[in-house]
Amino acid sequence: MNMTNLNNVGNSAVQITVKMGLLILLFLFLLIPVSFINSLGEEREERAKRAAREVIDGVGGEFEMIGPVLVIPYKATKEESFLSEEDGWKLKKSETSGEFYSLPESVEIEGRVEAEERQRGIYSTPIYRAAITVKGRFIIPDNSIFPEGTQMQLNRSRLIADIPDVRGIRELSELQWGESRHPFTPDSSASTAGSGIAAGRLGLGVPGQSLSFSWNMVIDGGGSIAITPLGRDATLTLSGDWPSPSFKGARLPDERQWDDTGFNARWRIPEVSRAIQPYGKIENLLAAVFNLEGEEEMKRPRYASWDYSGLSVHALAVELLDTVNTYTKFERSLKYSFLFLVVPFIILFLIEVLGGQRVHLVQYLLVGTVDLVFYLLLLSLSEHLGFDYAYLLAAMSAGVLLSFYILSSTGARLAVPVIPLVIGAVYFWLWVTLRSKDYALLIGSIGLFFILAIVMILTRKVDYWRYASQFKTVENDESDP
């Protein structure tokens, strides 16, 4: 090989290297719009969440109930001796008042949730109407649990339940207390942390006596339902017709099952499983339930938070998940965006290497842009049609356009049956990956391995130095008159 041929090969090698570098830069450039599309998806998701919050707030918020608790007011007289310069030692009496609490010996709470989807614009969110039954029994406390010098005001005792947002209560029966009945009234005292219901002036009877209680209520809400059953032996059962529940809170159900027709969950909480004393001062109970420390925290405002993480640390909850879950699937699909950019680039590159066709950088750019438009179509259509139908339409549109453009612009007739098949297989592979939550990483890794293996097999005999020389020859032939 003479010096001229060496120079030609060297120049050709430089040109192909430059083109490869430009393709890499183009690929990295196309990843920038992907980040913008991701931000757009997050913005749409936040907008959907705002719409869901508005719907849920409109029907009564996310329901939470804590209780029931028997509250007994008391007065205490305290004597202190002090030294007076005139009269010597004297006694000073001071009177304080407060409230003691007593937890039920046993409590059973049952709730049946009937859910439906409520629309707000193009968004929908699950709301529910729940029928709740609370029943159990109290052991009437005797004087031994109270400090000396306290006068218990038994005629003012009442049963309370803390409900942070009472707007969702639609029906509330009277409290069945032993053989008597007592109406519930709103309670905004410190005993219910500012919001709840109470049935007052209960007849406590003889200390040590067992008294049964029960009441029923119907509540409206949305998003989730959370209950903290307080009792020495507490049981909570929640069932409903929503097919996609998520069990959250302090502990998972002891028994749970769900299918397309609904769910059923049961919790049993023995006394020893949580650090709540069966009786004591009411402020100690509030501190234990809400995990508060110090007077400043005890005074902080209560509100119904979106994820109820600021409420009872002992809450047992069921969240009604969105069955469509569009934005989560879209976010997962974006993680494979590099693949949708790489595969068309690989197809064009193979056409250049194996077919001897020249492909301009502008053609690479247009092919990459189609994949970006695919994600925009997927996001916009999924808000109206659901993710699966949106994916089908977006994949068909992008796949047909890519196949038509690559075949018509490159003239690769031998690849007519191959290119649509490859592009369709990639879109189908991603769809299978998105539907397989637990095996998504495995399926994705295997898919990438096979793509790399196919490229290496097809190009295993390619002489890139010779290809570079041919690339230079074709360029010279086209420049000759």
**pLDDT of residue 322 exceeding 80:** no
**pLDDT of residue 338 exceeding 70:** yes
389 plus 266 within the same structural domain:
no
Of 320, 355, 373, which residue is a domain's last? Answer: 320
Q: Quick check: is 405 in a domain?
A: yes
pLDDT at position 88 is: 60
43 plus 93 within the same structural domain:
no
95 plus 223 within the same structural domain:
yes
Query: What's 83's DSSP letter?
Result: E
Greatest pairwise CA separation for the chain in angstroms: 129
430 plus 363 within the same structural domain:
yes
Q: Which residue has the higher pLDDT, 393 or 301?
A: 393
List, in order, residues 6 or more apart from 7 with CB less than 8 Å away.
none
284 plus 365 within the same structural domain:
no
CA 251/CA 181 separation, integer angstroms: 34
Report which of 296, 289, 293, 353 is spatially closest to residue 315, judged by C-alpha positions. Answer: 289
List, in order, residues 6 or more apart from 188 with CB less than 8 Å away.
194, 195, 196
Residue 66 tokens read as 């804590």
CA 433/CA 33 separation, integer angstroms: 23
Residue 287 burial (10 A CB sphere; 0-12, 13-18, 19+): middle
Q: What's the domain count of the chain?
A: 2
Q: CA geometry: angle at 98 spanning 93 and 102, to 5°? A: 130
277 plus 360 within the same structural domain:
no
Q: Quick check: is 127 in a domain?
A: yes
* DSSP calls for 66-92: EEEEEEEEEEEEEEEEEEETTTEEEEE
Report which of 37, 99, 93 is spatially closest to residue 74, judged by C-alpha positions. Answer: 99
Provide, rounded to the nearest whole percent, the portion of the chain with pLDDT above 70.
81
Of 320, 348, 375, which residue is a domain's last? Answer: 320
pTM for this one? 0.74
206 plus 349 within the same structural domain:
no
Residue 293 tokens read as 């420390």
Q: Quick check: is 57 in a domain?
A: no
Q: How confident is residue 191, by pLDDT bands cut at 50, 70 and 90?
A: low
List, in order, residues 6 or more apart from 169 with CB less than 8 Å away.
60, 163, 197, 217, 218, 219
94 plus 192 within the same structural domain:
yes
112 plus 249 within the same structural domain:
yes
CA 77/CA 400 separation, integer angstroms: 87
Residue with tokens 């996001």: 379
CA distances from 106 to 102, 271, 409 (A): 12, 10, 78
412 plus 465 within the same structural domain:
yes
CA 434/CA 441 separation, integer angstroms: 10
Q: Quick check: is 56 in a domain?
A: no
Beta carbons of 100 and 279 less than 8 angstroms apart: yes
Query: What's 209's DSSP letter?
Result: -
Q: Quick check: is 248 in a domain?
A: yes
List, in order, residues 6 or more apart from 196 with CB less than 8 Å away.
67, 160, 161, 162, 163, 166, 186, 187, 188
At 319, give phi and psi (nearest 5°).
Answer: -105, 135
CA distances from 126 to 115, 245, 355 (A): 6, 11, 55
**pLDDT of residue 238 exceeding 90:** yes
Provide the CATH number for the domain around residue 294.
2.60.40
**Helix 326-334 and helix 361-385, axial crossing angle in degrees, nearest 10:** 160
**pLDDT of residue 239 exceeding 80:** yes
pLDDT tens-digit map of 267-298: 999 888 887 888 888 888 877 787 655 444 43
CA 13/CA 472 separation, integer angstroms: 9
Q: The domain containing residue 427 runs over which residues?
A: 3-51+326-479
381 plus 427 within the same structural domain:
yes
464 plus 335 within the same structural domain:
yes
Of 292, 320, 348, which residue is a domain's last? Answer: 320
Report which of 300, 222, 215, 239 is spatially closest to residue 59, judged by C-alpha positions. Answer: 222
Q: Quick check: is 29 in a domain?
A: yes
Q: Which residue has the higher pLDDT, 28 or 437?
A: 28
Q: Quick check: is 312 in a domain?
A: yes
Number of Cβ within a 10 Å radius of residue 449: 10
Q: Which residue has the higher pLDDT, 368 or 287?
A: 368
Q: Quick check: is 69 in a domain?
A: yes
Q: Which residue has the higher pLDDT, 479 or 94?
A: 94
**pLDDT of residue 130 exceeding 60:** yes
